[in-house]
Structure 1
């Protein structure tokens, strides 16, 4: 079932390139809940979107794809009229997906350490450590990102081998500085307020959080790779959450 669902989502995302309406049949139109505020609900909305996008000769690369119970989540590259990087998250019932979330931003970088937003290890391992890795990341999100106990960074992160893929950061010290910075109103420039979901498969864990970036209401998706009980690699995307008056559905970002 897990492998089959990954294949279906892979085909769905690649359908963006061709506009193939068959690819969206994995979507259960009668139950589908769409959380991308700029997309209409149901597979008819996706079919129309894919048809429109296909005219721009888009390219889609699924860099990493994972499964966690009834969820499939993917780390993706998009080349439409501009290059973007995103995370896609789908919830399944049987062989069809009934709910979708995503978080996409313009591609930047590489960072000063030479790492892009998507390069690095993609192979899933340590399946027996899925739950312990999930718990570690949940604690990291709660204690470090939300509660800002920055003195605990080294408790969760392998400081000697850490690899950072954020285009504006390059090391653990730069992460510490970024989380400590304030804006002109003395508010933290990066503020994680709420953890909405933690998904995991083996050595990879994805967190979806809500907060503020430079005063703008934002969604933060962070993908972590763990090794020997520590975070050793990190990728992320951030997206501004626009006012509800601009949404094409009423389901909310999360």
Structure 2
């Protein structure tokens, strides 16, 4: 079985068995003893993750849940999930990033953001296209997305936006209006500044960029998901979290 296919299958099972059904034995097998946790709300290491899963198992389940799945994107030893769930009467939008080592989850990062009541584009944060299952990796799309992010978001070469972005861009960042003009206006506002790309994961038409920057002068972790078509970004999702654990 291709490595990426196996890793995605294991992560699906982790959500369904360990998270949803409380199968702690499965989690113990899947999580490496040397597991590194980058989430601020959990205790460190494998013991911290198992403790969190045990607590979730004991908590009352909500009467209704948003369908969790989602986008599932994998390259090499990394798997990215983009999902949502109901918590405390609010819809939470999540990006999880897992790193595998020898068939086990060895490292984890995440960002969680509330779905706002209204957005600048009228689109929900989880709406839009889904990756095609078993899509081939696209080195070309990855190269384009990295150059786009470096030149536009980090180097602020906004005059180059039309080289990378379709005029009909569909936007799921709640702070940004649809279209090329909407992204240009948002970037000109200076609300979010990006300083560094940490990791990039690509599969088919989708590219995920994990970056750090500042939002309203606070250190911020940013996950961008881009869908490309014919060499241009045609759809964008963003999940931000004001915490940095690299």
| TM-score w.r.t. length of structure 1 | 0.86
Map 1:92-241; keep pairs closer than 5 Å.
92-109=100-117, 111-124=119-132, 127=135, 130-159=138-167, 161-171=168-178, 172-181=180-189, 188-241=190-243
Verify: 1:49 aligned to 2:52, yes or no: yes
What count of residue pairs does the alignment treat as equivalent? 236
Partner Cα distance (1:216, 1:132) in 2: 33
Which stretch shows the higher mean deviation, 92-101 or 33-42?
33-42
Q: Describe the SS at the equivalent of 2:61.
A: coil
The alpha carbon displacement at 1:234 in A equals: 0.3
Q: Which runs of 5+ in 2 are unaligned?
A: none
Contact 2:73–2:201 (CA<8 Å) still a contact in 1?
no
Q: Which secondary structure state, in structure 1, belongs to the residue aligned with residue 83 of structure 2?
A: strand
Q: TM-score, normalization: structure 2?
A: 0.89
Match status 1:253 vs 2:245? yes
Q: Which moves more between the two structures, 71-80 or 232-241?
A: 71-80
Q: CA deviation at 1:3?
A: 2.0
**Superposition misfits of 4+ residues, deviation over 4 angstroms:** 125-129
Q: Distance in 1 between matches of 2:170 and 2:197?
A: 23
Residues 65 and 126 from structure 1, CA distance in 2 versus in 1: closer, same or farther, beyond 3 angstroms?
closer
Q: Retained in 2: the 8 A contact 1:53–1:80?
A: no
CA distance 1:210–1:168, change in 2 (3 Å): same
Q: Secondary structure, in 3 states, of the residue corresponding to 1:236? A: strand
**Contact 1:109/1:117 (8 A) holds in 2:** no
Q: 1:6–1:126: structure 2 CA closer, same or farther, 3 Å change rule?
A: closer
Q: Distance in 2 between matches of 1:19 and 1:223?
A: 29
